[in-house]
Amino acid sequence: MTQKSNIHFDISERKVLLRFFDVVSVLFLLYLVGLVFDFDYFKINSQHWVWSIVLGVYLTIFATIFELYNLQKASKFEVVIQNIILTSSVTVLFYLLTPFFTPELPENRLQIIYFYISVNLSLFIWRYAYIVLISAPRFFKRVLLLCNEKDLNSIIASLQKSDPNYKVIGFINTSNQTYKGEFSSEVLKFGKRDISDIVIEHTISEIVVASPQAEGISVMLYNQLINLLENGVAIREYTQVYEEITHRVPVQHVDKDFYRYFPFSRSNQNKLYLFFHRVLDLVFSVLGLIFGLIILPILLIGNLFANKGPLFYFQERVGRNGKPFKIYKLRSMVVNAEKDGAKFASKGDSRVTKFGRFLRKSRFDEIPQFINVIKGEMSVIGPRPERPVFVEQLSVQIPFYEIRHIVKPGVTGWAQVNAKYGESQDDSLEKLQYDLYYIKHRSFFLDINIVFKTLSTIIFFRGQ
């Protein structure tokens, strides 16, 4: 079988590509500016190599915070422009304010303007090239699905929402029944003929099997897949692809073989990791509480005139190993908000006051939870602690829900920075998928990623 050549980049490859060429493009243009103009502030040579490293580190950190490596946004130039300006402005500001690691401010202050314009221009040119070339359809990963037709829409939505370059070209219905619903006209339906012809004709990069052998993978299809695998065609199981692309554990597809999906991170028992995690918990908590004391006058005034009631409120939540504890928060709802019983908060909830909405958007309402962290009841990073009444309900409705309690709950977490507010059972299922992914892949790198995403949430005022 001769397969057509098809170049594509995986998620990790595109993120590495963006980071690498962000730094390279900036340094290259600054080097050209140094050659063409009398530019003394920033020189790239063997004597000042530290300057380039510091600039590259600053650029990568702030580009992460301002979401330049968010692949959904990286393909939209109007969004990229805004994020480039924010990234370059903060990067240049920090670079100017750290002269111990960077050059001293030049006598000719106009050189700072040249420096700032060079950083912006290089990023604009490279990111435009990325959108036109790398994000173009020619680099999409072209996928053939083997699935039950009734599951097609949900599978495509979950994959392409997380990776816009993951293109489902068509599918083969593994069910004997025909689904009467509608699906995208762009997705082709193939019969159970020779799959190798489909792979060649449509330049398929990967085959994703989303149906177990007992539910539609016949011996004929199975033998064809074996033959394709022997010829170098990538064949993967849907839950594996789902977890890799969405960064969630697909608990709704997990059955009796749950142990295959939950080989939890060794960091959960790693004494060194847990020690440094606790140290960082205490450091962040002290800094958070100091910040809370600084803005306390604003909080008191806002609460006095807009909330009209107690500043704090206390509520029972479920912690590690199902142990209940009292959580501390700044009150964001009206007094007696749950006089008719407990219910999920929703978008535009009428119980939330105007000042409370500001507290939630800025996430200032969660500052008192650093007290819970210092007491050891919570961590800075972990699954969001839920109320006992909701845990009882969701444990019955959602499989493996209580697994999220094997680690300490957190002030922020993987679900908080990725999922929307839990308004329904479906939202809670999505949040659980993120929580289990965190528990499964827990590491310093993932913790740092969550911190950056939390900063992005605060900066862009996207708290819920």
Q: Which two tokens stand for residue 3?
A: 């397969």
pLDDT at 40 over 80: no
pLDDT at 374 over 90: yes
Q: Give the angle subtended at the CA of 383 by the CAs of 313 and 325, to the nearest 5°.
A: 40
Share of the chain above pLDDT 70, in %: 88
Q: Which two tokens stand for residue 420?
A: 């929307």
pLDDT at 129: 92
**Alpha-carbon gap, residue 199 to 62, rounded angstroms:** 41
Report phi then psi at 203, rounded to 5.
50, 55
CA 43 vs. chain centroid, Å, equals 36
pLDDT at 429: 85
Q: Which two tokens stand for residue 437?
A: 């992914």
Domains of the chain: 11-134 (no CATH), 140-246 (3.40.50.11060), 266-459 (no CATH)
- The band of 80, judged by pLDDT with boundaries at 50, 70 and 90, is very high
Considering 203-207, 371-375, 442-446, the range whose residues carry the highest mean pLDDT is 371-375
Q: Which two tokens stand for residue 41?
A: 């502030």
Please give the residue that has the higher pLDDT: either 172 or 421: 172
Reported as half-sphere exposure (CB side, CA atoms, 13 A), residue 237 has a value of 11
Q: Which two tokens stand for residue 13?
A: 């490859």
Residue 235 pairs in a beta bridge with 207
CB 456 within 8 A of CB 66: yes
pLDDT at 157: 82
pLDDT digits (tens, 9 = 90+) for 14-37: 889 999 999 999 999 988 888 887
| Interacting residues of 9 by C-beta distance below 8 A, sequence separation 6+ | 17, 134, 139, 165
What is 5-66 written as a DSSP string? Answer: P-----HHHHHHHHHHHHHHHHHHHHHHHHHHS---SS--SGGGHHHHHHHHHHHHHHHHHT
Q: What's the average model confidence in pLDDT over 342-369?
A: 81
Q: What's the average model confidence in pLDDT over 90-116?
A: 84
How do strand 379-381 and strand 324-330 relate by DSSP bridges?
A: unpaired
pLDDT at 116 over 80: yes
Per-residue CA distances from 97 to 49, 90, 120 (Å): 18, 11, 19
**Alpha-carbon gap, residue 361 to 121, rounded angstroms:** 32
Amino acid identity for residue 362 in this structure: S
pLDDT at 308: 81
If you average pLDDT over every residue of the chain, what do you get?
84
pLDDT at 213 over 60: no
Please give the residue that has the higher pLDDT: either 40 or 371: 371
**Alpha-carbon gap, residue 94 to 295, rounded angstroms:** 24
pLDDT at 6: 60
Q: What's the average model confidence in pLDDT over 243-271?
A: 72
Q: What's the average model confidence in pLDDT over 284-288?
A: 95
Q: Coil, strand, or helix at residue 169? A: strand
pLDDT at 285 over 90: yes
**Alpha-carbon gap, residue 77 to 229, rounded angstroms:** 38
pLDDT at 378: 96
pLDDT at 159: 81
CB 218 within 8 A of CB 172: no
Q: Coil, strand, or helix at residue 69? A: coil
Q: Give the predicted TM-score (pTM) of the model.
A: 0.81
State the CB neighbour count (10 A cutoff) for residue 298: 11
How do strand 312-318 and strand 324-330 relate by DSSP bridges?
A: antiparallel
pLDDT at 296: 94
pLDDT digits (tens, 9 = 90+) for 180-200: 667 666 788 888 778 888 888
pLDDT at 428 over 80: yes
Q: What is the CA radius of gyration of the chain?
A: 26
Q: Which two tokens stand for residue 208?
A: 């994703």
CB 2 within 8 A of CB 203: no
